[in-house]
Every structure is written in C-alpha cells, then in structure tokens.
Amino acid sequence: MACATCHIPEHYFTDGRPLPIVATNTSLSELPTRHTPTVVGAALHRWQFWDGRAESLWAQALGPLENPLEHNSDRLAIVRYVLNEYRLSYLQAFPNSESTLPKLERLPEHGSPLSHVAEYQTNWRQLSGEQRSEINHVFANIGKALAAYQAKILPDESRFDRFVDGLNLPTDNQSLSYLDLHEQAGLKLFISEQTGCIQCHNGPLFSNSDFQATLSSAEIIPEREGRVAGIALAHADPFNCRGIYSDAPDSCDELDFAKVNGIELQAAFKVPGLRNVAKTAPYMHDGGFASLSEVLRYYNQAPMHGFSHNELQPLRLQPYQLKQLESFLVALNSELITDAYWLTPPTPPSQGDNS
Amino acid sequence: MPTIQGALGPGFQIVILYLLLSNAGHANDFSYLRENDANGNVWEIRLATASPPLNQIHSWYISAFNSEGHPLTDLTLSISGGMRAHGHGLPTTPKVSAEISPGIYQVDGIKFQMWGEWQVQSELTDQHGNTVGNHEFEFILAP
C-alpha cells in the first residue's frame, strides 16, 4: 500500500470511496471509520486528521505508516526501507545526519512501540534508548520529507477567485463573467447570515481549521470520538510540536492553547476546505453522503440525532436556493498549481539512487 | 448585466448591515475597548492589531481599575468566553502569563474561529478566591 493507494491524484488525492480499503496483510477484523480526506492544501491546515490528533503535516504522515488498517508497517521496517533504498537522497535532504543514523545491521527487522504484533513491540522494548532515538529521528525525518512533498500540492485559482479579483480591479470588465448569475446567487447565500456557511468555511481554504459537530452520523460515541479524543492524542504524541523531534519547539501556540475538554469537542470533526469540493465525493468524516446535494439537504434540515450539543440550525432554503449554493461550490473547482514534475511517479528505487 | 456593486456588494452588505443593526451598541473593530462594570470598576482591552484577528492565536492586555482610578493589582485574572448564540466556548484555553504592570494583565492564547457575536468574561479574584471584580466584554467580529 502506498500513500497514493488512497490519495489518488486522479481523484484529487482522495479515493472516491466512503471509507478506505484496508491493508490486505492486516490481521485486524475491524474496519476503518474515517473517510479519506484530500491531500491538496493539507499543508495549510493547522490540524491534521479528522479529529486533529496531529498538529503538523509531518506528524500526520507518520500515523498511516504504522496503522494496521492502512500501511500496516512498523517503524523499524520503514526506516530500514528508506535508508536501504534512498540513503543518498535522505542524506542530501538531511545533511550532517550520517553519524547519528541507526546501525541497521545490529537491529531486528521489525519493531515499533505501536505495533499490534507482540513480537515487534518486544523488539522495540529491547532496544536501548539511544537506538530508539536514532530510529525515531529518521522516522520523523521521513514524515518531514512526506510533508514537504505534500506542501507542493496546492489548488490553483478557481473561477471564484478570478471573480473576486475582478471586483477588486475595476479595469477588469470580464470579472462578472467568471461566475454566472446562478453561481453569484449561490455566493450570496454562502456568505449570508441565513446559511452561516462562512462561520466555519472561512479563510483561503474555506475552512477555519477548527472542529465542529455536524452530527451527520448516529454511529458514534460523542464522549470518545472526534476532537475530544484527537486533542488528547495530539498532546500524547512524541512527534508533536513540543517533542524532541520538532524543529520549532518554541512555536507551539496551537498545541499549548488548544482546548482539551468541553462538550463542543465531542463528536466534533475538522472543518474540511471547500476548494474542489465537487471533485471529492463522498463527503463528511465517515463518507456518509454520496453527493453535494445530499450534504446540502442534510444541512437544510439539520436533524438533532439526540446529541446534547448541537450547533446546527436548519438552513430553511428553497430547493432552487440549494441548487444555487451547489453551483457556487462547483465554481470553486480548479486545477492544481503544482508542477507536473511532482505529479509524475518516480523511478522505482531499484533503478534510482540505490546505494 | 448587474453592476460590480450589484453582483457581490449586496451579499456582503447584508452581512455587515445585519451585524451592525443587530447589536449597534457594540464595537465591530477595535484595538482598544474601555467599559465600566456594575461596581464602577473600569476595564480596558488593548490589542496589538487593529481588531481581533480571525483564526489566529493572539494576546490581549486587560487592565482593571477601581472607580477611584487605582489599579486592581496583585490579583488572579481568569478568562473565559464563547459565542452564546452558538452554544460554544472559545476554541482555545487562554492563559494569563503576567501582570506586566500594576493592574495590567497579559492574556495569551486567545483565538476566535468564527465571525459573529462573542462574549469574553474576565474575573479578578484575591488570594482567598474572593471575587474582586468581573466584567463581560461583548463584541462583534465582522469581516
């Protein structure tokens, strides 16, 4: 399994499925419960994962590698693979690190503190503190390399952007043509007090990077899922901003000041960005809605589901207004701004810089 | 063909106008606020920016003086807040880092993640936990 198994470039770096496929070699019987989000623009979000359990993209990148339902690998195997297959590239990206690389020949094949394989956990426990630290440093750097790549995957201008730019540039006589009247009506609804869309979907990505209980799934235990769980995991993560592998341990305001309890954190999931949202069906944290029109219908009705905390208010829009709103969302579509070089699969390592 | 103002203007204007009319007595844009509480204490907020930024952690400097102008000093300031209309609190847990001069307290970690009407409660307590003064600031965060 590769990152691109679920983050498929042709699907705007999503998988087009409600829930992701499971690693074929996993021994777990449980199924994934979270929809695959897009990678496009992910670097601009303050928190990663639907519950915000990682507060950097590099910390996020490490999670799926060891998740038994995703890559189902282990820390030592990943570090071994990268240092065997990409050693030169690694040392170019992280110069002066050669003297602190783990001595792979003295280490077991597998090992991780998080593995569900007892033997791998035992292997990890039997390592010295120095060995664990050396492995973790390389593991963290692998996350930073993955994050550096993902930071290049960004959306280009949409017709909406050209429309707004045109309004700010009176000499652009074409500005109004970038959105048709239907889409302009949708935009007005989007920013209206009645819909409140911009309460959460604000900023350059149309997301405030915060967490909101949409209550779109009744299959959830609010006290244990969502942001309330994610922030606890973020604080416990050795790869967080305050950890010894961080490059900026003195700039951790988001982690330091994040709210850690409160009923609004229960069943609350990250507000997704809306750029190219029309290309990323299905929707919500559990992939529960197949189309944008289903999502909008849900928000229009905003059923209660019996949760004690509910901030959703029915939009009370007419069917034609829902269509206008949807057409505006489609107008947020764009291509990627990313150079084609970064979207072309690399040469397999056996033909590359193997050393 | 609608005019430029006609295309986007009304949407934004409706939002702004609604916010202004719905709470005309409160500040929409401020780097400094000064209000009296029910006991005659004077409370002030100072910001380093022209208005509270959206989605950015920042600091407030909260000052409190009694009705005679003496600073309410050597006390413990606690801060809470949220959007009453939405039923949620602040997205962060602000912390008072220091009383930087008599009666002026630096509060770090304040963040607002939504446009709209916010309330921020300040309370000063003495070493025995008795309330010396409290006040609620209410303001509109608007685009």
Span B91-112, average pLDDT: 96
Interval A112-128: pLDDT, tens: 999 989 999 999 999 99
Mean of per-residue pLDDT scores for chain B: 82
Test mutation, A161, A191, A228, A231, chain B, max B CBs within 10 A:
A191
Q: Where are the alpha helices (DSSP H) in B23-101?
A: none
CB contact under 8 A, A311 and B54: no
Span A274-283, average pLDDT: 96
For the cut 80, the answer to whether the pLDDT of residue B9 exceeds it is no
Count up the domains in chain A and report the number: 2
Task: Give the CATH class of B26-141.
Answer: mainly beta
CB contact under 8 A, A259 and B89: yes
For the cut 90, the answer to whether the pLDDT of residue A204 exceeds it is yes
Q: In terms of domains, do A166 and A22 share one?
A: no
Tell me the count of A-B CB pairs closer than 8 A: 89
Identify the residue with better confidence: B118 or A22: B118
- Measured distance CA(A93)–CA(A87) in Å, rounded: 10
Residue B120's DSSP bridge partners are B81, B137
Q: How far is CA A93 from CA A61, A287, A337, A340, B68, in A?
A: 17, 37, 24, 21, 63
CB contact under 8 A, B93 and A167: no
Q: In terms of domains, do A145 and A106 share one?
A: yes
Q: In terms of domains, do A93 and A169 share one?
A: no
Span A75-103, average pLDDT: 95
Test mutation, B1, B3, B4, chain A, max A CBs within 10 A:
B4
- Measured distance CA(A80)–CA(A104) in Å, rounded: 7
DSSP structural state of residue B56: -
User: Residues B108, B97: contact at Cβ < 8 Å?
Assistant: yes
Domain that holds residue A293: 159-226+266-330
Token look-up 């110069």 returns A95
Q: In terms of domains, do A170 and A125 share one?
A: no
Interval A128-169: pLDDT, tens: 999 999 999 999 999 999 999 999 999 999 999 999 999 888
Task: Check CB contact of B84 with chain A, cutoff 8 Å.
Answer: no
Give the pLDDT confidence score for residue B37 in this predicted structure: 92
CB contact under 8 A, A258 and B93: yes
Q: In terms of domains, do A8 and A149 share one?
A: yes
ipTM score assigned to the predicted complex: 0.86
Task: Check CB contact of B69 with chain A, cutoff 8 Å.
Answer: no
Q: In terms of domains, do A201 and A308 share one?
A: yes
Interval A291-338: pLDDT, tens: 999 999 999 998 876 666 777 889 999 999 999 999 999 999 999 999
Q: In terms of domains, do A149 and A174 share one?
A: no
